[in-house]
Amino acid sequence: MPARKKRCDKSKPIRLGIWGLGRGMSFFRSCQALNIQVVAGCDYNEHMRKRFLEHCPNAYATTDSEQFLKQDMDAVLVATFCPAHAGDSIRCLDAGKHVLSEVTAFHTMAEGVELVEAVERTGLVYNLAENYPFGKPMMYLSSRWKEGLFGDLMYAECEYVHECRTLAYTYIDGVPIVPGNTVHNWRSWIHFHYYNTHSMGPVMIIGNARPTKVVSLPGRVRLPGYLMKSERGMSGIAPSLISFENGVVMRNLMGATTNDTHIQRFWGTLGSAEFVDGEMRFRLGASGHSPKLPVEVKWPEQGELADLAGHGGGDFWVLYYFARQIQTGEPAPFDVYAAADCTIPGILAYRSSVEEGRAFDVPDFRKKSVRNEYRNDNFAQQRYNVAKGCFPKNADPSLTGQFSTIMRDLINLATEYRAFVEWEKVIGDVKEPVKVIELADKAIAVHPQLVSAMKAARQLADAYPRSDGAQVLNEMLELAEEPVTTAPGFLRALKRRRESLAKRFGK
Ligand SMILES: NC(=O)c1ccc[n+]([C@@H]2O[C@H](COP(=O)([O-])OP(=O)(O)OC[C@H]3O[C@@H](n4cnc5c(N)ncnc54)[C@H](O)[C@@H]3O)[C@@H](O)[C@H]2O)c1
């Protein structure tokens, strides 16, 4: 990876367009910190364009990508639907714009070849906005690793386990998907193997090597409330093993289950490091039982600016490297080839799991002869037909239009209720039982909303009992313990349970 030498030349502001104003707008503060002018925004969603114009009143905002790409701007931040990134990035490059693409870079191997060749053909800057290696903890760790503190990397385990079930039914800002009878464009169906870069990126930076082989076994148990029984969507667990050209092996774990974790653990020949629950710990002394101590992570440089820009500082650095490459030519860590190295193991891990653990070589797209083998490789997961929606064609839109809102609410409220119910079972073992009583307070407070969400869900599920919508509605109704929680007198009984716990456990 290139050494950081030059600072961003702030005398020539870059004119940037943002395509996709959900996640895309998280970069806004970093743009301000780096003196990048946001001059245009494009999104189908009116409420997102409105918010964009509140931040950038003089910018051009549109739903029409063709008009957007005609604007006078140097670069585009592509934050559109995940499986569309390659096609959208190629359109930007062909329109003469540098591209910073959100993760992941492409959805099929053939698209990857096309993207690499579009970057080579146009000679423009393309970077992948993989930000996890550049948050404060990983920036600190990689700078220590480069100093030789840990010796050679041997093995890593990194995780991006994120139960974001409501996002199958809402936009990123929590607004339910419109039209309400359908689901999110890709978060409703995509397998978590396809979202592999946040856990893999730090290993690529710290290990300073490209991946060469990937293997994955399928996990077949899924979380309720997700569509697509056979494919499981983002529901379930997506582990893979990846080997690197320098002999390093990693376990890359993505998925949605009942414990969100972003744990990162690295073992070197002289020491090891783990970042768990927001704390960095080193074990130093070249043995397995050497002393292990927590350390304070620090920014290597320009930390105050990165902190100001928010989202852990990673977005700031990604944008900084991008601007620097445009203005000085100095390569960013995730150019199009590194983007391919990082994206391909996700595609092939999914394929490996489908083929019961067959190992796949990770091709190096720097080589044209290698790319030729993948030019027509269009293997991809089956998509959910989002346009068709989750109910029969002739269904009553006044009913089905409520679906995405009901699912969002039911997921949030049912899990709020279950948090109390499950913790109540072990309250005698909990170190701070008062926390469980607080959960009871929350369950009591949300009960009226839970009942009305359940009522609406029951009506819709019973109206179209064989639909995909009914499947997930029924699953969440079960999680909410519908017969119990809608029974007369339930709320009174819940309050009594809370009072009795408060007497026994002291609140
Ligand atoms: N690095 C991170 O921390 C991080 C966090 C969240 C999301 N992401 C990535 O950012 C991307 C965007 O994420 P999101 O959460 O906003 O999800 P999203 O997929 O819901 O957002 C895409 C947005 O782009 C708009 N859009 C898509 N295609 C368009 C087109 N052709 N013309 C006009 N508008 C279009 C949609 O209306 C939507 O608002 C995703 O690919 C995701 O992988 C990264």
pLDDT recorded at residue 11: 67
CB distance 171 to ligand 1 below 6 Å: yes
| Cα 168 to ligand 1 centroid, rounded to whole Å | 13
pLDDT, one tens digit per residue, over 410-431 is 999 999 999 999 999 999 999 9
231 vs 459, which has greater pLDDT?
459
Cβ neighbors of 348 (< 8 A, separation 6 or more) are 214, 360, 362
Residue with tokens 């030498």: 5
Atom of ligand 1 nearest to the CA of 130: 1
pLDDT recorded at residue 2: 36
pLDDT recorded at residue 10: 57
Instruction: Tell me the sheet residues that pair with 266.
Output: 156, 273
Task: Classify 132-300+335-372 by CATH class.
Answer: alpha beta
**Residues of 297-311 as b/e, b for ≥16 C-beta within 10 angstroms?**
bebeebeebbeebbe
| Cα 19 to ligand 1 centroid, rounded to whole Å | 8
Phi-psi region of 59 (alpha: psi -120 to 50; beta: other; left: phi over 0): beta
d(CA 272, CA 283): 5
pLDDT, one tens digit per residue, over 437-446 is 999 999 999 9
How does residue 232 score in pLDDT terms, banded at 50, 70 and 90? low
Nearest CA residue ID for atom 12, ligand 1: 79
CB distance 45 to ligand 1 below 6 Å: yes
pLDDT, one tens digit per residue, over 304-345 is 888 888 778 999 999 999 999 999 999 999 999 999 999 999
| Cα 176 to ligand 1 centroid, rounded to whole Å | 15
CB distance 103 to ligand 1 below 6 Å: yes
| Cα 455 to ligand 1 centroid, rounded to whole Å | 32
Which range, of 36-45, 144-153, 157-166, 216-225, averages the lowest pLDDT? 216-225
Backbone angles phi, psi at 75, to 5 degrees: -145, 160
| Cα 380 to ligand 1 centroid, rounded to whole Å | 20
CB distance 20 to ligand 1 below 6 Å: yes
Backbone angles phi, psi at 17, to 5 degrees: -110, 145
pLDDT, one tens digit per residue, over 152-192 is 999 999 999 999 999 999 999 999 999 999 999 999 999 99
| Cα 184 to ligand 1 centroid, rounded to whole Å | 11
| Cα 158 to ligand 1 centroid, rounded to whole Å | 24
Q: What percent of the chain lies above the pLDDT cut of 70?
A: 97
CB distance 81 to ligand 1 below 6 Å: yes
> What is the value of pTM for the model shown?
0.95
| Cα 111 to ligand 1 centroid, rounded to whole Å | 18
Q: Stretch 226-242: mean pLDDT, rounded? A: 84
| Cα 23 to ligand 1 centroid, rounded to whole Å | 6
Instruction: Tell me the sheet residues that pair with 214.
Output: 242, 360
Nearest CA residue ID for atom 5, ligand 1: 23
pLDDT, one tens digit per residue, over 122-154 is 999 999 999 999 999 999 999 999 999 999 999
pLDDT recorded at residue 5: 37
| Cα 24 to ligand 1 centroid, rounded to whole Å | 7
CB distance 172 to ligand 1 below 6 Å: yes
SS3 content of the chain, % helix, strand, coil (to 5): 45, 15, 40
CB distance 131 to ligand 1 below 6 Å: yes
Atom of ligand 1 nearest to the CA of 81: 19
Nearest CA residue ID for atom 34, ligand 1: 43
pLDDT recorded at residue 311: 79
Domain boundaries, the chain: 132-300+335-372, 397-505
| Cα 279 to ligand 1 centroid, rounded to whole Å | 30
How does residue 1 score in pLDDT terms, banded at 50, 70 and 90? very low
pLDDT recorded at residue 302: 78
CB distance 177 to ligand 1 below 6 Å: no
Atom of ligand 1 nearest to the CA of 104: 43
Which range, of 278-287, 294-303, 446-455, 471-480, averages the lowest pLDDT? 294-303
CB distance 134 to ligand 1 below 6 Å: no
Cis peptide before 179 (omega within 30 of 0): yes
The angle at the Cα of 455, spanning 454 to 456, to the nearest 5 degrees, equals: 90
Nearest CA residue ID for atom 7, ligand 1: 23
pLDDT recorded at residue 6: 42
Cβ neighbors of 5 (< 8 A, separation 6 or more) are 330
